[in-house]
Chain A
Amino acid sequence: MKTTLKNPYVYLGFVLPTIALYFLFFIYPMLTSAVYGFTDWNGLDRRNFIGFDNFANAFGDADFQHSMYNNLYFIVFSVFVQIPLIVVFSLLISGVKRLQGFYKTTVFLPSILSTSVIGILWGYIYNPDVGLIASILKIFGAEPIYWLGESKWAMFAILITNAWQWMGFYIVLILAAILAIPKEIDEAARIDGASGAQRAWYLTVPLIRPVINVVVMLSIAGALRVVDIVLVMTDGGPAGATDVMASYMVSKAIKFGDYGYGTALSIIIFAFALLLTALYQFAFARRQERVEY
């Protein structure tokens, strides 16, 4: 009878399609990337091995550095602005009985929409001539702000849009964790005379720290992956002000035809992601168990 679950052919039948597809679209591209990254291939004709030139160029490329900083802005903004807000909103929602479902459903809504549609929508909201924000400013007699047209605003405008899209998702995540805390703990603290704010800070927040850690992880991963919203809203502009690593890579490969250089950049992005993940795991999340609710 044991042979049923020990038949190697059946085993292969179950595993092979996945392995094949996975190999073709993950491992093989990784391997080819490692080759292309060391060439000056322009996508059409010439392909010479040029050693580490692409990587040396990348580290001397001020525009690429700038795009790297923009990824960091995404991380900083989500960790230090979005996540505190997310925790506060989650606590607020968890504290109410009426309308809890409504809040949850509404704030979650943007995260199921396509990023490109959200980019178009917010491009319109930011429009200096007819956009929502310009119209509101006009009521107060203020000049329109060129959100996506000026370097000093564009990054901020994209960060806001990104936050608008994703905050609700994380709120629901954390809300679930808060609601899973046994009522008795909260009740006991209340009888001891702790105020709502005290209970939230001293009781709830420590209990949901594992989920917050997950949210931080997801935010970092998301910040390194971000590209759609930049391509749709500004295409990296004005003058490269909003380029992130991935959009810069795409533009180098496709617009400039620098496939070799673009691939080298993608290897650097990968290394960057590995490094950040490892650092975070090492520094903060080492002792945390994976949470399951």
Chain B
Amino acid sequence: MPAALRKSVPHVVMMVYVVVILVPFLFVLFSSFKANNTEIALHPFGLPKSWKFSNYQEAWVKAKISVYFWNSLYLAAAAAAVGVLLSAATAFALTRMKFPKTSAAIYQFVLIGMLIPGNVLFIAQYLLVRNLHILNTHWSLFLPYAAGALPFSVLLICAFMRAIPTELEEAAVMDGMSAPGLFARIILPLTVPALVTVFIVNFLGNWNEYLLAQFFISKDALRTLPTGMVQFRDAFQTNYALVCTGIVFSVAPVAVLYGFLQRTIIEGLTAGSLKG
């Protein structure tokens, strides 16, 4: 086999894969501009005959996508941030403070959570948030999201903090710095790479979460993007152009963000899963 050919084989195979990934998006994008189902059925592959931007306006108004989007964004970010901060504080106490036996016990206790598949607790959590009278409020998602992040985050941040040398903090303690000061001014800044990783993993997990969001929230104004989009599809079952428009609306912002932050996101997610 000639060298040039041999060199191009991987590219050919990968291009096929890339096409398989991208074509569904293109198909949906083109469909979203088409006038109706007939045009989609008759000309499935081509560009639309005339670009129906009005689909976008219609979908935006009918699906309240902006509301869903905002709900998802702030819930995912707030829960991830709180989860990361709580975990970092705990990891600091477990790895830096001098209560070795208690710390080991707490560490093991929290790690039990890693063994529980997410949806196993669904019914019990449902009953819990109902008894707390927070069903159908954003608290019913915020709290489980923040809590759900804890075992993994504590594990990862602990691993990272153990690797930080003790000399720095010894000096700081000599200077009379308190434990919280030590945490906030010395350890936390040094842990930022791990925190970013944990934040990204948790954020995306929350952003994409469906099961709890579907059953804990039933008010339209409180829905998150994943459940809002399913609701939208159920309402406009056979208006395919409109459904495609909804898909574009929900994929585009994520794709753009990914375009800017791809390296961070990829590293965060993969590092997170390897250590977890």
Contact = CB atoms under 8 A, between A and B. Distances in A.
A22 B173 contact: no
Contact of B21 (A96, A135, A164): A164
B266 A172 contact: yes
A274 B115 contact: yes
A48 interface: no
Interface string A5-24: 11110110111011101101
Given A36-B123, A259-B123, A293-B274, A228 B148 contact: no
Contacts of B124: 28-30, 32-33, 36, 263, 266
Nearest to B28: A121
B99 A11 contact: yes
Contact of B118 (A33, A125, A135, A225): A225
B11 A96 contact: yes
A54 to B, nearest CB: 12
Interface stretch (A55-63, A150-158, A184-192, A246-254): A246-254
A130 to B, nearest CB: 5
Contacts, number: 284
Contact of B127 (A19, A32, A273): A32
A232 B96 CA distance: 45
A249 B87 CA distance: 31
B137 interface: no
Contacts of A290: 275
A103 interface: yes
Given A10-B97, A132-B24, A227-B211, A112 B254 contact: yes
Contacts of A96: 10-11, 14
A221 interface: yes
A181 interface: no
Contacts of B273: 169, 173, 214, 218
A112 B254 CA distance: 8
B78 interface: no
A164 B96 CA distance: 43
Given A176-B270, A250-B122, A29 B115 contact: no
B191 interface: no
A116 B227 contact: yes
Contacts of A106: 18, 21-22
Nearest to B110: A22
Interface string A103-114: 111111111111
Interface in A255-269: 259, 262-263, 266-267, 269
Contacts of B251: 113, 117, 121
Interface in A109-138: 109-117, 119-125, 127, 129-130, 132, 135
A83 interface: no
Contact of A228 (B97, B210, B250, B258): B210
Contacts of B13: 89, 92
A109 B266 CA distance: 9
B127 A5 contact: no
Contact of A33 (B6, B121, B182): B121
A222 to B, nearest CB: 9
A211 interface: yes
A35 to B, nearest CB: 9
Contacts of A221: 117
Contacts of B192: none
B226 A116 contact: yes
The 4 closest A-B pairs by CB, nearest first: A29-B124, A25-B147, A135-B44, A14-B93
Given A5-B97, A164-B21, 6 more contacts: A8-B99, A22-B147, A26-B151, A28-B124, A116-B230, A135-B45
Interface of A: 1-2, 4-8, 10-11, 13-15, 17-19, 21-22, 24-30, 32-33, 36, 89, 92-93, 95-96, 98-99, 102-117, 119-125, 127, 129-130, 132, 135, 164, 168-169, 172-173, 176, 196, 211, 214, 218, 221, 224-225, 227-228, 231-232, 246, 249-250, 253-254, 259, 262-263, 266-267, 269-270, 273-274, 277, 290-293
26 contacts: A5-B173, A10-B178, A25-B147, A25-B148, A26-B121, A26-B151, A32-B124, A109-B255, A114-B208, A114-B229, A116-B210, A116-B229, A119-B230, A120-B246, A130-B240, A168-B21, A172-B270, A225-B118, A246-B120, A249-B123, A253-B123, A270-B117, A270-B120, A277-B115, A292-B274, A292-B275
